[in-house]
Amino acid sequence: MQDASTHIILDTRRVLKDGTFPVKLRVTHQRKQKYYPTGVSLALEDFERLNSNRPGRELKDIGLELQDIERKAVRVIEKLPSFSFEEFERRLQRSGSPSEIFSAFDTAITRLRKAGRAATADNYESARNSLRRFASGKAFTPRKGKTKAEIATLLHEEEKNTTPLPFSRVTPDFLENYEEWMLQEGRSGTTVGIYLRPLRALFNEAIASGEVSQELYPFGKRKYQIPSGANVKKALALKDIQRIFDYVPATESEARSRDLWLFSYLCSGINVKDIARLTYRQLDKETIIFVRSKTRRTTRQKQKQITVPLLPEAMAIIGRWGNKPVTPDTYIFPVLVSALSPEQELARVKQATKTVNKYMKRIATALGIEKDVTTYTARHSFSTVLKRSGVSTAFISESLGHSSEKTTQHYLDSFETDAKRQVVSKLTAFPK
């Protein structure tokens, strides 16, 4: 037995902004103590109620979560040949059995959140929860319309009733059955791909670390291949983009959403998150320079800067909606404010995207544009309009910030039907 002890404590040395205190795991070894975050914070009176006979449902669930954290720490300590904080922390971060998929997901989610990659962490959580429902034989329970508390209760019940999923159980047949289950539940092949890519990444990590044998890898040729998203035409024709330019907005909200959509189109298809993060420091009289948030942490190479020549129309949009006063560190557009957590930033970006999409749908309907016009459409329209104008794929790839032209090819939309008809009509353009 190791001479190290664990205890869940309320760290009253530092009060948080909401008046609560962080709950921490305290580990003591040879009179030395170290504290580890649990992700939970409570008021003093709630922490005192936590271990009472009737703590209430919400506190009871929190208590179970904290007990699970402490149990994991105890298991790690018991398996150590000799205790050291360094080895304890290393094994604790792996959070459970290295050959178990849900533990691997939990570890990755924690790592991503610590790195500030809230959107990717959310994607891993969705993938984990979907696989958990499938592995336990549960039907998909729609989350739409439910409160955050109701969703949290659903997830807690699912986690509580889930049996472990070893890497060895995930075979090509397992994945084929999962895909079929997802489609029967009304999910698309695109969603299947989005959920299985994190699982593939976890397999690669586990194999690279020696925790899983290469022979167990279920992906690839003659095994299971993750479905690709359908190559749906997302770009608008230039004539429709002109109609959006010429549209007279009915409200200020319509005007702002239309202008943010046009700013994306005019500025290399920049997405809403990167628009939100732009500061005046990145702006000069002729260009905006930025690095895509999507690639900032995912590439080991030198970050690729995207330099966008600013058209007069883009400068006019900044003039209409830009924050004042103009200082180097001020965000250009009023989407974000300083000192936001990654989760708060993600929520604001999602809300801004949702608002733009809502008003662009109204504008498209008013103009008789039948396509689904979203912020994503602006990026695809930027690349496709340039393609149709004879611009090289290399230039478009650089403008989009892609690592290769192959990626860009997936973005480039097909020519309109009437353009194709004009081309194939030459097959019967016999001399008179």
Q: How far out from the chain centre does Cα 213 lie?
A: 29
Kind plus residue range of the DSSP H or E element containing 405: helix 405-411
- pLDDT band for 117, please (50, 70, 90 cuts): confident
pLDDT of residue 420: 58
For residue 281, what are the contacts with CB-CB under 8 A and spacing of at least 6?
Answer: 328, 329
pTM, two decimal places: 0.62
- pLDDT band for 96, please (50, 70, 90 cuts): very low
Tell me the C-alpha distance between 76 and 60, whole Å.
25
pLDDT of residue 152: 59
Tell me the C-alpha distance between 138 and 134, whole Å.
6
pLDDT digits (tens, 9 = 90+) for 120-133: 999 999 999 999 99
Domain layout of the chain by residue ranges: 1-94, 98-230, 238-420
pLDDT digits (tens, 9 = 90+) for 228-287: 765 556 789 999 999 999 999 999 999 999 999 999 999 999 999 999 999 999 998 889
Q: Quick one: which of 130, 384, 351 has its CA closest to 241? A: 384
Please give the C-alpha separations between residue 169 and each of 141, 150, 193, in angstroms, as whole numbers.
24, 31, 19
- pLDDT band for 300, please (50, 70, 90 cuts): very low
Tell me the C-alpha distance between 195 and 123, whole Å.
7
pLDDT digits (tens, 9 = 90+) for 142-177: 555 667 666 556 555 555 555 778 888 899 999 999
Q: How far out from the chain centre does Cα 35 lie?
A: 29
For residue 190, what are the contacts with CB-CB under 8 A and spacing of at least 6?
Answer: 227, 229, 230
pLDDT of residue 328: 95
Where do the H-state alpha helices sit in 17-135? Answer: 44-49, 57-79, 85-94, 101-114, 118-135
In CATH terms, the fold of domain 238-420 is hpI Integrase; Chain A (1.10.443)
